[in-house]
């Protein structure tokens, strides 16, 4: 029987260490994880107060990451994890940059993503992120923020498996690296590098790609994967700037649909790049995360126009750990399903991470090429095939309905 790894272990005594390993795809899996098999069903019976502790786990995880990587990770003024010692500025003018540099801020990078200008500045050694943001906001005429980190919203702690190669439409995966992807690029130190979480996400789109296994059927067999690795080997990988650059790359590669199973806070630069990518026809699908309903709204799922996806179990119950976004579009299987492992094996996965790629694949089936004018009609086709659950019509629990309910590859007996 495959190992069953579940995020809900985070709310049980051994779960804190497990959750810490789960939230960053590049962090090695801790030895305790194999012992938590079977906790998904028991967790569903836990009182609501226990589920509320998911937020405590999220905060404790950030504390631990800051302690372990003080040179790379710090808290932003709102308590979210961010790249230490760096500030991101949205569309700064030459005069603004000159004034910032006069205050001791060093220009690290200045660029343009899909017409959205930005700059990265190094913070003086004696200034915290909070103080630096305050300093630079006094200059006016530019949006200043920390470069917040985004974390994976599901668990797949096994060695990476290659994605199945095909001749179908390109579907983008912004995450860690995907072994065997048709197109790959890296946006972090050490990237691209095959990543377990990303490879499991890709397997749910195109299939497992394990020779002779046939164990995981993709929602869009024959799809080709375009992999943008925003983690690599960087402890501060998954930052907003990396994701923004990855979106720009997806548009350049003519990818029509991209799935992002990562969650973090709102970021001005990323929000503007999301809008710019959508204007060029990129359909962006994102998971709502696994931090529970008490957590802050997750991004990029909460940006306007992004297709926000929650997960359900085999009985079509919304995952009790599912996070929330400012809007919800669809539900899809996010538990009691298999994704790819190595050596002809498969594993049982759980999390909204694994619902999002099923929706992305469903959209890619009817929206294979960039075309902003065709986006509404494509979504109307997806809506027509969605199964209405819960309250009649669109609702905050299931969105516009269950998508790809038959795509689930059941766990091995």
The residues annotated with a catalytic role in the active site are 175, 197, 353
Instruction: Return the SS3 of 253.
Output: coil
User: What's the rounded Cα separation, in Å, for the pair 267 and 319?
Assistant: 27
Instruction: Return the SS3 of 223.
Output: coil
How far CA 88 is from CA of 85, 148, 315, 394, in Å, comes to 10, 10, 44, 37
How far CA 252 is from CA of 111, 206, 303, in Å, comes to 16, 22, 21
User: What's the rounded Cα separation, in Å, for the pair 81 and 265?
Assistant: 9
User: What's the rounded Cα separation, in Å, for the pair 90 and 50?
Assistant: 39
Q: Which helix (H) or strand (E) holds 137?
A: helix 129-137
User: What's the rounded Cα separation, in Å, for the pair 390 and 342?
Assistant: 38
Per DSSP, 351 falls in state: S
Question: Which phi and psi angles does 22 have, rounded to 5°?
Answer: -75, -30
Residues with Cβ within 8 Å of 401's Cβ and at least 6 positions away in sequence, in order, are: 330, 331, 383, 386, 387, 388, 389, 394
Contact 164, 218 (CB under 8 A): yes
Contact 278, 373 (CB under 8 A): no
Maximum pairwise Cα distance, the chain: 65
Token readout for 362 is 């469903």
Query: How many CA atoms does the CB half-sphere of 57 hold within 13 Å?
Result: 27
């Amino acid at each position: 029987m495959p190992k069953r790894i579940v995020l809900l272990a985070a709310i049980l005594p051994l779960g804190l260490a497990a959750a810490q390993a789960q939230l960053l795809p590049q962090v090695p899996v801790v030895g305790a994880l194999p012992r938590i098999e079977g906790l998904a069903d028991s967790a569903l019976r836990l009182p609501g107060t226990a589920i509320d502790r998911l937020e405590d786990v999220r905060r404790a995880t950030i504390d631990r990451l800051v302690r372990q990587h003080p040179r790379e990770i710090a808290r932003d003024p709102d308590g979210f994890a961010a790249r230490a010692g760096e500030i991101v500025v949205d569309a700064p003018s030459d005069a603004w940059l000159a004034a910032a540099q006069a205050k001791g801020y060093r220009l690290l990078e200045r660029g343009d993503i899909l017409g959205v200008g930005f700059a990265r500045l190094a913070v003086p050694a004696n200034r915290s992120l909070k103080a630096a943001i305050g300093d630079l906001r006094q200059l006016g005429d530019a949006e200043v923020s920390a470069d917040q980190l985004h974390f994976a919203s599901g668990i797949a702690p096994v060695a990476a498996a290659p994605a199945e190669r095909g001749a179908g439409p390109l579907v983008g995966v912004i995450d860690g690296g995907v072994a065997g992807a048709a197109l790959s690029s890296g946006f972090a130190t050490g990237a691209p590098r095959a990543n377990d979480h990303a490879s499991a996400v890709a397997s749910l789109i195109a299939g497992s790609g394990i020779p002779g296994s046939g164990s995981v059927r993709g929602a869009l067999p024959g799809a080709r994967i375009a992999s943008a690795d925003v983690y690599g080997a960087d402890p501060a990988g998954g930052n907003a700037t990396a994701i923004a650059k990855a979106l720009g790359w997806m548009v350049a590669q003519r990818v029509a649909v991209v799935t992002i199973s990562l969650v973090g806070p709102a970021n001005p630069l990323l929000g503007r790049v999301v809008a710019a990518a959508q204007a060029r026809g990129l359909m962006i699908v994102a998971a709502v995360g696994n931090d529970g309903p008490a957590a802050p709204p997750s991004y990029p799922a909460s940006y306007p126009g992004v297709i926000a996806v929650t997960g359900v179990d085999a009985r079509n119950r919304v995952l009790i750990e599912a996070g929330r976004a400012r809007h919800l579009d669809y539900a899809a299987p996010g538990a009691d399903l298999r994704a790819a492992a190595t050596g002809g094996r498969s594993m049982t996965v759980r999390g909204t991470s694994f619902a999002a790629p099923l929706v992305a694949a469903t959209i890619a089936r009817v929206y294979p090429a960039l075309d902003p004018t065709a986006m509404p009609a494509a979504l109307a086709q997806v809506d027509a095939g969605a199964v209405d659950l819960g309250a009649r019509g669109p609702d905050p629990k299931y969105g516009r309905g269950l998508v790809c309910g038959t795509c689930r590859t059941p766990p091995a007996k």
